Amino acid sequence: MPPRLATLDLIRGVAVLGILAINIAGFAGPMASLTSPNLPHPVSAADEAAYAFSFLFFEGKMRALFSLLFGAGLVLFWERTEAAGRNGDALQTRRLFWLMLLGALHYLLLWWGDILFLYAVCGLAALLLRPLSDRALLAIALVLYYVWHIWGVLDAAAAIGAETAVRHGTATAGQAHLVKEWLEPVRDWATQEMHESTYGFFDLVKVKLQERPFWQIEMVSGNFSETLPLMLIGMVLYRRGFFTGTLSRRRLMAVGIVCTGAGLVLTALFLGWAWPRHFPAVTMHAALVWGLAMPHLLCGCGYAALLVIATPRLAPTALGRKLIAAGRMAFSNYVLSSLVMTFVFYGWGLGLFGKIGPARQWLFVLAGWGLMLAWSESWLRKFRRGPLEWLWRSLIERKALANHL
């Protein structure tokens, strides 16, 4: 078996840490605070500043980076399996079906924000498209990505206009009703979340089974047109040598600087409008789901390029080794984050749900980063794979694999 790609592991380590920086708002709750820090209630200036920092550097960018890496990993797994004389498509399909099941368990037992199920479904679609040429994959990805996002912005235009009119005091009765109709279910859901956050562990599982059994199907329908295109782009980037050192350092540097710079500037321009207006909820939702597609994609590619360039010098350092270890155990770290943070915030644990604003949430993010970086390296001194990576691979191989070094 060829050696692991340190570049992919290091980038994956950065991505899994970055994902926590965004997911923390969902763990701390309620869900509405992911859209605007002032939902369901106004927050302090410090909380708005903390939200703005996460919004500028992490929101959407880490999701894009992780999706690109997943696409690259699909091709890498297929190539290595085929090189070993095995059926890459069959094993990849089995791999993704097990991921789907594990994602369903992650949702049911721990957290509503699971992405494993979504990634498995999109991965199966990407696998079907894998034989296509790079040009065809890129065309499908960009058309699907931008048509979906542009349609979403156009569909939200009336609600955004109504919210603006309400803020300026010029709204018609119809516009005021439209904004009220948008906000009421958001606030009602936040109230329900606050109530459910006090439940015990098994009561929460029961609620998900009885009231929201198809939650993950809804997540797939709402995110498929973002996640699949990013995976396809990641597949193309891998096949073009983006992650393997085939591309020249000069070209990677150009991609890193231009894409990251452009993505951050576009995000900052929107942030400069939204922050003084205290992050208006309707507009923020439209921007997060649809309007900021371009900067998310740009930063995902730019961050990846800069990390590819940095890997040769960063990998031998103490921080680099820890990031690589965290990336090798990204699955375990992702689920560990859910376990720790739901214990901290939900009623079956410390019960801090809805009590920690965006500024103080960073204390939990930093603690989570420290935990992931520390335990990953320690674990891999004794074992070949992380615990969930071992379980996943054993299920794929239909036998318990040796894991001790």
Q: What is the pLDDT of residues 42-97, one digit of tens each?
A: 999 999 999 999 999 999 999 999 999 999 999 999 999 999 999 999 999 999 99
Single-letter amino acid code for the residue at 159: A
Report pLDDT digits (tens) over 156-182: 999 999 999 999 999 999 999 999 999
pTM for the whole structure: 0.95
Q: Helices in 130-196 by DSSP H: which ranges?
A: 134-168, 173-196
pLDDT in tens, 104-134: 999 999 999 999 999 999 999 999 999 999 9
Nearest to 229, CA basis, from 293, 291, 295, 308: 293
pLDDT digit string (tens) for 187-223? 999 999 999 999 999 999 999 999 999 999 999 999 9
Question: How much is the average pLDDT of 272-298?
Answer: 97
User: What confidence category does residue 245 fall into, taking pLDDT thresholds of 50, 70 and 90?
Assistant: confident
Check residue 72 and give its pLDDT: 97
Q: What is the mean pLDDT of the chain?
A: 96
Residue 247: Cβ within 10 Å count: 16
Which of 105-119, 243-257, 292-306, 370-384 bottoms out in mean pLDDT, i.e. has the lowest? 243-257
Residue 159 has which token pair? Answer: 């609600």
Cβ atoms of 282 and 135 within 8 Å: the answer is no
pLDDT higher than threshold 50 for residue 1: no
Is 404 strand, coil or helix?
Answer: strand
pLDDT band at 3 (very low <50, low <70, confident <90, very high): low
Q: Assess contact for 116 and 96: CB atoms under 8 A.
A: no
**For helices 88-109 and 215-239, angle between their N-to-C axes, nearest 10 degrees:** 140
Helix pair 61-83, 215-239: axis angle to 10 deg: 70
Per-residue pLDDT tens digits for 297-334: 999 999 999 999 999 999 999 999 999 999 999 999 99
C-alpha distances out from residue 229 to 140, 267, 294, Å = 7, 21, 13
